[in-house]
Amino acid sequence: MHVAETTIQVRYAETDQMGVVYHANYLVWMELGRTKLIEDLGFVYAQIEKGGILSPVIDLNIQYKTPVRYGENALVKTWVEEYDGLRITYAYEIYNGQNQLAIIGQSKHVCVKKDSFRPISIKRMFPEWHIAYEKVKKQK
Amino acid sequence: MHVAETTIQVRYAETDQMGVVYHANYLVWMELGRTKLIEDLGFVYAQIEKGGILSPVIDLNIQYKTPVRYGENALVKTWVEEYDGLRITYAYEIYNGQNQLAIIGQSKHVCVKKDSFRPISIKRMFPEWHIAYEKVKKQK
Amino acid sequence: MHVAETTIQVRYAETDQMGVVYHANYLVWMELGRTKLIEDLGFVYAQIEKGGILSPVIDLNIQYKTPVRYGENALVKTWVEEYDGLRITYAYEIYNGQNQLAIIGQSKHVCVKKDSFRPISIKRMFPEWHIAYEKVKKQK
Amino acid sequence: MHVAETTIQVRYAETDQMGVVYHANYLVWMELGRTKLIEDLGFVYAQIEKGGILSPVIDLNIQYKTPVRYGENALVKTWVEEYDGLRITYAYEIYNGQNQLAIIGQSKHVCVKKDSFRPISIKRMFPEWHIAYEKVKKQK
């Protein structure tokens, strides 16, 4: 199993009047975590889209344990929790500046054609990705 | 059970290069749904915060069924799924401009003191809210 | 001269840890102001884009007079300050919940083809818009 | 004159359905540019706020030259254009992934007390900052 690590400098714009990071912004960081994981595997997500394929989220869950604050760097850990050739579930842990576990999350994705939003088989259309995901996914 | 309804004009800023609403932005709409529900019950969330109490999300899950697009109005339906005097779980359905169910979601909240982020009892600190939530929560 | 008016319910997500609306978010409200003005003239911006034309901002200036806060409704006033068949300058005033002038802004736009970002003549490609803009623009 | 440089990985969330970075998001990058400049001078913006002082924008102008796209890294150059002991004007240039000048901007700031939003003298309250800003500001 490969765990990608990416460090995020908290942006002022990401805070809200609670004085902490607004809860929706962690989804953006989770996306940066996926991007880093894909990069670690030797691929580039932007290239996929140029081929007319998108990879939307179909299912998401997050537990908020403790806040992250402006002035801190957060650490996002990302790995492939499940993969079956069609759907990928990424899992995430986000740590705040005191190295406390702030967020636990999972997001499930499919690949679809940009013009129709119809799902495609990752295994058939991107055989190299398929092999890479099979190799790094969490072993049960 | 009371279901609050609020209509959202999709903002250009809410789209991404997929040509649909970016997945994190539905969390903002869910918040507008909660605000409307609280308003329907005769309360104002902004008042609570002026009293030094915040109501952060501690758990969130969303299923993305179909996209919502710029140029459409979305409809957010919000109700109280569970409430026990300490934690509230709101449930949401978001419909796109063709009246298709686009998003199903749930968010669980506590109330905390702004300075310490320590949880407080809604039942004890806001007895009027407690009565209202007990009355409108989903009956099992 | 026609002045479009649109009311904005401040969103929690739009605040930052200063306890006021984050300064970049007024640009989103200005866009809602333009949308309303275009609608008042009998057109729909989303339709333009379906025809492969975009209308990006090329120049923007904003003066921040006083903050807008969560719990308030803001009022955005929008009009056509200048128009020459090729470029449109919109002007904006945003009022906070105490009816104080919070923001003064201007944004200049062109129309471009989506695939090339090459500018087009509004006068030639959208003669009906041209007539409408000539009619409502500020008289000097 | 000191020019701070900071590299920004474009986020998917920052794009809109034009397929480029949404125009309001450059304001967030300009803030990251300011943060880097302040850091280069040996200070930490987050510390200022802990002392009850905020530094809101009072005036902003931006020229949009060419778009920045997802998959690119942008470069933000930031320097002190003007400073008089009370007001600071930062200037910015943002370059896209092809090293083209995408954005030119300026933002003017004051320092205010968090509770009253009353302006304070930077020269008097933060003499060390004052000396540093005098030293690095653009010479006329």
D52 to chain C: nearest residue by CA? C18
For residue C110, the distance in angstroms to the closest alpha carbon of chain A comes to 26
Q: Which amino acid is at D73?
A: N
Give residue B14's pLDDT: 98
Give residue D48's pLDDT: 87
Cβ of A70 within 8 Å of Cβ of D12? The answer is: no
For residue B41, the distance in angstroms to the closest alpha carbon of chain A comes to 23
CB B52 within 8 A of CB B66: no
Contacts of A70 in chain C (CB under 8 A): 17
Question: Average pLDDT in the C65-90 region?
Answer: 97
Give residue D126's pLDDT: 93
Per cent of chain C over pLDDT 70 is 100
Q: Where are the beta strands (DSSP E) in B22-72?
A: 53-54, 57-64
DSSP A85-98: SSEEEEEEEEE-TT
Per cent of chain B over pLDDT 90 is 91
Q: Which residues of C are catalytic?
A: 16
Residue B48 clears pLDDT 90, i.e. is over it: no
Give residue D140's pLDDT: 80
What whole-number distance in Å separates Cα of residue C41 and Cα of residue A11?
Answer: 39
Q: Tokens 């890294």 map to which residue?
A: D73
Residue A48 clears pLDDT 90, i.e. is over it: no
Q: How many domains does chain D have?
A: 1
D51-110 tens-digit pLDDT: 899 999 999 999 999 999 999 999 999 999 999 999 999 999 999 999 999 999 999 999
Predicted ipTM of the assembly: 0.95
Which chains does C contact via 3+ CB–CB distances below 8 A? A, B, D
Per cent of chain D over pLDDT 70 is 100
Q: Residue D101 belongs to a domain with what CATH number?
A: 3.10.129.10
Q: Residue A60: give the domain boundaries.
A: 4-136
How far is the CA of B84 from the CAs of B108, B121, B124, in angstroms? 11, 10, 12
Give residue D41's pLDDT: 96
Give residue D101's pLDDT: 98
Is C49 part of any domain? yes
Structure-token pair, residue B131: 């009565």
Question: Average pLDDT in the C97-106 region?
Answer: 98
Question: In chain A, what are the helix, strand and coil shares in percent, each to the nearest 5?
Answer: 30, 40, 35
Give residue A140's pLDDT: 80
Least confident piece of the model among A22-31, A68-77, B49-58: B49-58
pLDDT, chain B, mean = 96
What whole-number distance in Å separates Cα of residue A111 and Cα of residue C109?
Answer: 35
pLDDT, chain A, mean = 96
Question: What backbone phi and psi angles, to 5 degrees, belong to B110?
Answer: -120, 170
CA dihedral B12, D97, B24, A132 (to 10 degrees): 140
Give residue A71's pLDDT: 95
Give residue C140's pLDDT: 80
Residue C81 clears pLDDT 90, i.e. is over it: yes
Claim: this prediction has a pTM higher than 0.95: yes
Model confidence band, residue B34 (pLDDT cutoffs 50, 70, 90): very high
Show Cβ contacts of residue D5 under 8 Å, excluding neighbours closer than 6 positions. Answer: D36, D75, D76, D77, D78
